Chains A and B, each alone.
Chain A
Amino acid sequence: MTDVGWIDAALTAARPQALGALLRYFRNLDTAEEAFQNACLRALKSWPQNGPPRDAAAWLIMVGRNVAIDELRRSRRQETLPAEEAISDLDDAEDALTERLDGSHYRDDILRLLFICCHPELPATQQIALALRIVSGLSVTQIARAFLVSEAAMEQRITRAKARVAAAGVPFETPGAVERGERVAAVAAMIYLIFNEGYSAGGDTAELRAPLCEEAIRLARLLLRLFQSEPEIMGLTALLLLQHARAAARFDADGALVLLDDQDRDLWNRNLIAEGLALIDKAMRHRAGGPYQIQAAIAALHARAKRPKDTDWVQIDLLYGALELIQPSPVVTLNRAVPVSKVRGAEAALAMIEPLELRLQNYFHFFGVKGAFLMQLDRNEEARIAFDRAIALANTAAEAAHIRMHLDRLAQDSKRKIG
């Protein structure tokens, strides 16, 4: 790696901790970001000559804080600023050595930084954009590319999100145990959203959006390092690793979706699978199940199967049953119908999903799954109607292409019967 390469990697790695601490000092996101930027500029000058500091985050916190204080003092001389409250906590944090030795703050610092990005007033897309900008440090250009929107639109989205967060006020008090738990859950949900934003992309855009999945995994690992005994965070991290492990096999050369049964399992990333399996194994020891762990356990059963026919569908059906109990939703039931079709046949699966039709009448996957079951039962005309509806509801070109493949098969089938 070139010099700049390792510095970039070190700055990225230190960012959440350093920015989180600076936010604690300055209690203002813009000031903290600017302080961090300035510290990074100094690092780019100083590190190539002096080598990396022993503790990059502590270095950046100290330098960022000093530069920002200097600037505040300078500007105060020029104009009258009521800055004393704005820079509270400065006196008791003068000693950089203390900062390095005392890591007890940093868990809540990082959590706070993550938490302000998932303020309940922010719509999901703004939460994700804000987290990628602030916590991950991706550039507006990078985020805009991943979201497939213009840079100007993304800039605006982030600015709006920041304004909302600033208006809502950043929670600076150290959270109590219950509050901390709620923050962790909100942050976990946001990380899952970031992942899905990347994962649900079509084959034509999957490559552009893959960084979202990778970033979500990085944040999940970070959260898990802060909360090492939380089985649901182990489950979340495992789930993301196991899903992302299949990335290279999920689309064919034309960008059409490849279903799990048809994927080339040699393309699955074994390293990510190993880590995901280790984490779910660790989580299960706690005997405190939750939605992320159950979904990860399902993904783990798929990952363990060397061939599609080795899949333990009975166990998967049971796990979906457990998920239905703690998180009942028509989508979970729809997902459960797939293992049910493998264990008890398409007829039983169809009976299971038919009552959902009213609630899922605008849901692409419902009609895709329904069509597939009908096709298995040789009810081709009904299958065609379901697939037509699915195509009309497809969110991506890859989804539409996948359904069209089924329709082609049906057409060939009926031609064969006539001919």
Chain B
Amino acid sequence: MLYAILCYHDEDFVGSWSKEQDAAVMSKLAVVQDRLAKQGRLGPVARLLPTTAATTLRKEDPPLIIDGPFAETKEQLLGFYLIDCKHLDEALEIARDLGKANPGGAYEIRPVGYFEPGSVKP
């Protein structure tokens, strides 16, 4: 079984770390990640850019595009995609196609800062 571990924290808090504090946290995490990678159990790892860089597409007809992160609490996170795009418009285009295939709910589109592809083969 593959498990996704989704990371939540206060962005203001994490954003107030100094470069050194941030690097210290990342290197502690890398120790855990390296262990998993050696065991062939680590899939993709991504660190998202701040929510200020987020755009949300509500899957209505026509779709509604809102600046900022997904803010509803009535809906739950059900899955995610990682896609390679030249710019935000391309990502939104793909989100529109996905939304047509499965209307209702929303997609939050977040640029990825740090990415490690991983090597898991379940």
A329 within 8 A of B: no
Contact A282 B55 (CB under 8 A): yes
Main secondary structure of the interface of B (DSSP, over half): mixed
Tell me which of B12, B51, B88, B113 contacts A281 (CB under 8 A).
B88
Check: B39 CB closer than 8 A to any chain A CB: no
| Number of chain A residues whose Cβ lies closer than 8 Å to a Cβ of chain B | 26
Q: Is the CB of A14 within 8 A of B12?
A: yes
A228 with B67: CB separation less than 8 A = yes
Instruction: Assess whether B17 is in contact with A9, with CB atoms less than 8 Å apart.
Output: yes
Contact across chains for B113 and A271 when beta carbons are under 8 A apart: yes
Q: Are B52 and A221 in contact (CB under 8 A)?
A: yes
Chain A residue at minimum C-beta to C-beta distance from B24 = A1
Interface status of B3 (Cβ within 8 A of chain A): no
**B50–A218 contact, CB under 8 A?**
no
Interface membership of A275, Cβ < 8 A: yes
- Alpha-carbon distance A279/B54, docked complex (angstroms): 9
Q: Is A376 among interface residues, defined by CB-CB distance under 8 A?
A: no
The contact string, 1 if C-beta is below 8 Å from chain A, for chain B 5-34, is: 000001011011100010010000000000
Cβ of B87 under 8 Å from chain A: yes
Q: Quick one: which of B12, B68, B88, B111 contacts A274, CB cutoff 8 A?
A: B111
Query: Is B82 interfacial (CB 8 A cutoff)?
Result: no
Residues in A whose Cβ lies below 8 Å from that of B15: 13, 218, 221
Given contacts A6-B13, A221-B50, A281-B87, 16 further A-B contacts (CB under 8 A): A1-B21, A13-B10, A13-B15, A13-B16, A56-B10, A225-B51, A228-B68, A229-B66, A234-B67, A274-B49, A275-B50, A275-B111, A279-B53, A281-B88, A282-B55, A282-B67
Residues of B whose CB lies within 8 Å of any CB of A are: 10, 12-13, 15-17, 21, 24, 49-53, 55, 66-68, 87-89, 111, 113-114
Chain A residues at the B interface, C-beta cutoff of 8 Å: 1, 5-6, 9-10, 12-14, 56, 218, 221-222, 224-225, 228-229, 234, 237, 271, 274-275, 278-279, 281-282, 285
Q: List 5 A-B contacts (CB under 8 A).
A: A9-B16, A13-B16, A218-B16, A228-B68, A275-B50
